[in-house]
Amino acid sequence: MGFEQIIFYIFSFWFVVSSLAMIFSRNAAKAVLFLVLAFFSAASIWILLEAEFLAIILILVYVGAVMVLFLFVIKMLNIDKSTIKARFTGYLPLRLIVAIIIIAEMSLVLGSNQFGLDVFSVPARHSEGYSNITVLAMQFYTIYVYPFELAAVLLLIAIIAAITLVHRNDNTSRKKQSISEQVNVQAKDRVRLVSIILPDKKEK
Amino acid sequence: MELWQTFVKMVHALVPWLDGTVAIILIIFIKAMALLIPLMLVVAYFTYAERKVIGYMQLRIGPNRVGPKGWLQPIADALKLMTKEIIFPTKANIYLFLLAPVLAIAPAIAVWAVIPFDEGIYITNLDISLLYVLAIGSIGVYGIILAGWASNSKYPLLGALRSAALLVSYEIVIGFALVTVVMIAGSVNLNTIVQAQQGGIIYWYFIPLFPIMIIFFISSLVETNRAPFDVVEGESEIVGGTHVEYSGMTFAVFFLAEYANMILMAVLSVIMFFGGWHSPFEAIPYLESVFSWIPGIIWLLVKTTFFMFLYLWIRATFPRFRYDQIMRLSWKVFLPITIIWIFVVALMTQLQLSPWF
């Protein structure tokens, strides 16, 4: 067994274990952390497949940003475990049906009859000078340039829409800080020097 | 480099088991140690330098009791922290409580794997090393979030909430700032970025990317939770932030991570904007030959030391920012400037502006 195979089995093992632990974990924060571990294992396996750009993007986007926001939300939640348990049995039949349908669909689409070795050949090893990111960029900015840019515009629209939804433009009803006013403040605006005529000491 | 090749062959000859797998692991281990031990020493003496520099800036002497001129102070501090008791808060989540410092230090050290110190001196020459730095660097925030959440305490949670939002916002700024560097260098490989700055001080990227350089440096202060942006600790506001419940070695690990990150950010500034291992006297007729005997790694370390000093200088100079002002700085000032500068750099590329393109 070569070095690469040992690494592959280590990361595959952790991928499966952490995915299962994520599902069966009772603590939401721990579930998020197991999901992070699963992402890491997946990224490591992708690196073994010479898809290092995708692997790094997986970590950068999902682990570095999305999962941080997940943890952020979980910290804010006040999770009451008893209500979750009460709901669990109520919806159980419906959930089982949905789960079975999803598992059946995924095994039909992603099974070995679709992605087996007789359908797809073993990916070829590239030489040492092969640059994954250059090849991807050549595809993105030549053949797929319009879909790529459309996706970018779609994301921009989503950002603007989200900002518009939460933006309130009424300046009258809420208190607002004007930073430029605060920065340009002068000493004479804040402190008023008043000359007080002291009573003569001799009068005491 | 030839010396290294013979060393690798020697290890392979000495440890021939399992198709050389053990030898590969051993070589990786030796490489990691060759980086880690000097790094930890620099971190230890950086804390000493910080206390000394800030001491002199405030007209004090700083630590001067342990060893000659206080030289053994960091060793004494390390011993003290190691022998102290680690206190676990009741009802804290103990696994996550102990995992948090590990998640803080592991990325801070793992990032060093791709840093090029000289022509051909690195742990690994990753083709996407800049993205690797960003990706692994973004994991450091887990240490803070988990420390705040697992402590089951008021102030750590507040500190973690503040800094998590801050770190995520400033990662966007740093990402956009580095896009301009990538646009000029035409590569996300740190080695190639440094090689592209060859040919004298005029070729270094701080000239065409001057505003980006300033933004990157200020953002790196935020990313490393340094004054004047140290809202995660904010002694005068939230006691000690995420570190409140940590004691002994668990606290020391957070401390090590912060300083390792600071040195990393200083090295990154040098690599991105100040020519990496290149000498500042390149292409200057007389001085080039005078200084040609100095190896590139010395130049890198000298420039890095300057940026490390800047961190200390800034800490001694500026008062802490208010939280909403830091957020405003990120979203309303830095982000628009970086996006505008991306267009400026695109224009420079189209105009073939010499000498950078």
- Contact residues, chain A to chain B, C-beta under 8 Å: 2-3, 6, 27, 29-30, 33, 36, 52-53, 56-57, 59-60, 63-65, 68-69, 71-72, 75, 131-133, 177, 179
Q: How far is A45 from chain B (nearest CA, A)?
A: 16
**Cα–Cα distance measured from residue B247 to residue B92, given in angstroms and rounded to the nearest whole number:** 14
**Cα–Cα distance measured from residue B24 to residue B28, given in angstroms and rounded to the nearest whole number:** 6
Q: Which stretches of chain B drop beneath a pLDDT of 50? A: none
Position B322 scores a pLDDT of: 81
Q: Which of A53, A63, A68 would best serve as a mutation to test chain B binding (most B beta carbons within 10 A)?
A: A68
Region A115-137 average pLDDT: 79
Q: Angle CA(B169)–CA(B170)–CA(B173) in degrees, nearest 5?
A: 105
Is A146 domain-assigned?
yes
Q: Do residues B117 and B277 make contact, with C-beta atoms less than 8 angstroms apart?
A: yes
**Would the CB atoms of B145 and A71 count as touching at under 8 Å?**
yes
Q: Which of B136, B167, B193 would best serve as a mutation to test chain A binding (most A beta carbons within 10 A)?
A: B136
Position A26 scores a pLDDT of: 79
Q: How far is A169 from chain B (nearest CA, A)?
A: 17
Statement: residue A128 has pLDDT above 90 = no
Position A167 scores a pLDDT of: 79
Chain A positions touching B161 (Cβ under 8 A) are 72, 75
Which residue of chain A is at minimal alpha-carbon distance from B144?
A68
**Would the CB atoms of B135 and A30 count as touching at under 8 Å?**
no
pTM beyond 0.90: no
Is A155 domain-assigned?
yes
Q: Do residues B146 and A57 make contact, with C-beta atoms less than 8 angstroms apart?
A: no
Chain A positions touching B138 (Cβ under 8 A) are 59-60, 63-65, 68
Across the interface, of B126, B136, B141, the residue whose CB is closest to A68 is: B141
Is A154 domain-assigned?
yes
Structural domain tally of chain A?
1
Own/partner contacts of B320-329, CB < 8 Å, gap of 24 or more, are: B320/B227, B320/B228, B320/B229, B320/B230, B320/B231, B320/B234, B320/B236, B321/B228, B321/B229, B321/B231, B323/B162, B323/B166, B323/B231, B324/A177, B325/A179, B326/B166, B326/B222, B326/B229, B326/B231, B327/B165, B327/B166, B327/B169, B328/A179, B329/B218
| Amino acid (one-letter) located at A175 | K
**Would the CB atoms of A64 and B171 count as touching at under 8 Å?**
yes
Across the interface, of A56, A68, A179, the residue whose CB is closest to B131 is: A56
Is the CB of residue B22 less than 8 Å away from at least one CB of chain A? no
**Would the CB atoms of A72 and B161 count as touching at under 8 Å?**
yes
Q: How far is A105 from chain B (nearest CA, A)?
A: 33
Q: In this predicted model, which residue has the larger pLDDT, A2 or B58?
A: B58
Which residue of chain B is at minimal alpha-carbon distance from A133?
B128
pLDDT digits (tens, 9 = 90+) for A130-182: 778 888 888 888 999 999 999 999 999 998 999 888 877 766 667 777 777 88
Position A28 scores a pLDDT of: 80
Statement: residue A118 has pLDDT above 60 = yes
**Band of residue A122 on the pLDDT scale cut at 50, 70, 90:** confident
Residues 6+ apart with CB under 8 A from B123: B31, B32, B35, B112, B113, B114, B115
Region A73-98 average pLDDT: 76
Q: How far is A193 from chain B (nearest CA, A)?
A: 26
Domain extent for A152: 130-167
**Band of residue A20 on the pLDDT scale cut at 50, 70, 90:** very high
Is residue B349 classed exposed, middle or buried when 0-12, 13-18 and 19+ CB atoms within 10 A define those classes? middle
Q: How far is B129 from chain A (nearest CA, A)?
A: 10
End-to-end CA distance of chain A: 102
**Band of residue A202 on the pLDDT scale cut at 50, 70, 90:** low
Beta strands in chain B (DSSP E): none
Cis peptide before B285 (omega within 30 of 0): no
**Cα–Cα distance measured from residue B136 to residue B106, given in angstroms and rounded to the nearest whole number:** 9
**Would the CB atoms of B157 and A179 count as touching at under 8 Å?**
no
Q: How far is A110 from chain B (nearest CA, A)?
A: 29
Position B230 scores a pLDDT of: 79
Statement: residue A203 has pLDDT above 60 = no
Instruction: Supply φ then ψ for residue A166, to 5 degrees.
Output: -95, -5
> The complex's ipTM?
0.81
**Would the CB atoms of A60 and B131 count as touching at under 8 Å?**
yes
Q: How far is A162 from chain B (nearest CA, A)?
A: 15
Q: Which of B98, B241, B219 is nearest to B161 (CA)?
A: B241
**Would the CB atoms of A64 and B135 count as touching at under 8 Å?**
yes
Q: How far is A199 from chain B (nearest CA, A)?
A: 41
Q: Which of B146, B152, B154, B329 would best serve as a mutation to test chain A binding (most A beta carbons within 10 A)?
A: B146
**Would the CB atoms of B139 and A63 count as touching at under 8 Å?**
yes
Statement: residue A204 has pLDDT above 60 = no
Which residue of chain A is at minimal alpha-carbon distance from B322?
A179
Is A145 domain-assigned?
yes
**Cα–Cα distance measured from residue B141 to residue B104, given in angstroms and rounded to the nearest whole number:** 7
**Band of residue A18 on the pLDDT scale cut at 50, 70, 90:** very high
Is the CB of residue B93 less than 8 Å away from at least one CB of chain A? yes
**Cα–Cα distance measured from residue B126 to residue B112, given in angstroms and rounded to the nearest whole number:** 12
Position B238 scores a pLDDT of: 72
**Would the CB atoms of A33 and B168 count as touching at under 8 Å?**
no
pLDDT digits (tens, 9 = 90+) for A24-72: 887 788 888 899 999 989 999 988 888 888 888 898 888 888 888 888 8
**Would the CB atoms of A27 and B93 count as touching at under 8 Å?**
yes
Is A59 domain-assigned?
no
- Tabulate helix, strand, coil % of chain B (nearest 5): 70, 0, 30
**Would the CB atoms of A3 and B141 count as touching at under 8 Å?**
no
- Residue B192 half-sphere exposure, CB side, CA atoms within 13 Å? 15
Is A149 domain-assigned?
yes
Token pair 């790694």 in the structure block, residue: B297
Instruction: Supply φ then ψ for residue B291, to 5 degrees.
Output: -100, 10
Own/partner contacts of A131-137, CB < 8 Å, gap of 24 or more, are: A131/B127, A132/A50, A132/A51, A132/A52, A132/A53, A132/B127, A132/B128, A133/A52, A133/A53, A133/B127, A133/B128, A133/B188, A136/A53
Region A93-109 average pLDDT: 90
Is A34 domain-assigned?
no
Identify the DSSP state of B321: P
Token pair 């990753």 in the structure block, residue: B126
Q: How far is A65 from chain B (nearest CA, A)?
A: 7
Chain B positions touching A29 (Cβ under 8 A) are 93, 96, 146, 149
Is A103 domain-assigned?
no
* Interfacial B residues in 223-252 facing A (CB < 8 Å): none
